[in-house]
């Protein structure tokens, strides 16, 4: 998976970029059809210490997943966003499995009705 990291109004060091790529790369364990992604890092001007924001957008076939994390460090914010994406991926997989199963059940029901008509 190819992920682009963009830091807004500051320069992110290479260690942080590698950390983000490593964390987001682990999402391929849950869904191997991830096309790519983008990560935006920014500082928010607030009095709170948790002013670091990491926003991650993943492109998957037929959809996009988005998560945002805010914490005291970019690493923590990235962890929060990646965990949210992991849950979204699991929900997406469950939805697609149910759709396929329901589609098959509908096809089987139609075939059974056609057999009854011929009897």
pLDDT digits (tens, 9 = 90+) for 97-108: 777 666 665 555
When the candidates are 3.40.630.30, 3.40.1190.10, 3.10.200.10, 3.30.160.100, the CATH number that belongs to 2-96 is 3.30.160.100
Give the pTM: 0.80
What average pLDDT does the segment 45-67 reach? 92
Say if CB 75 and CB 54 are below 8 A apart.
no
- Of the pLDDT bands very low, low, confident and very high (cuts 50, 70, 90), residue 85 is very high
- The CA distance from 59 to 29, in Å, is 15
Domain residue extents for the chain? 2-96
pLDDT at 35 over 60: yes
């Amino acid at each position: 998976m190819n992920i682009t990291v963009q830091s807004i109004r500051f320069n992110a060091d290479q260690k942080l970029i590698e950390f983000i790529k490593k964390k987001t790369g682990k999402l391929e364990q849950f869904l191997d059809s991830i096309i790519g992604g983008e990560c935006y890092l920014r500082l928010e001007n607030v009095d709170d210490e948790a002013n670091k924001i990491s926003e991650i957008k993943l492109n998957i076939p037929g959809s996009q997943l988005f998560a945002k994390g805010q914490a005291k460090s970019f690493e923590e914010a990235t962890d929060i966003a990646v965990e949210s994406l992991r849950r979204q991926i699991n929900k997406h997989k469950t939805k697609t499995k149910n759709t396929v199963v329901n589609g098959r059940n509908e096809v089987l029901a139609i075939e059974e009705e056609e057999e009854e008509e011929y009897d």
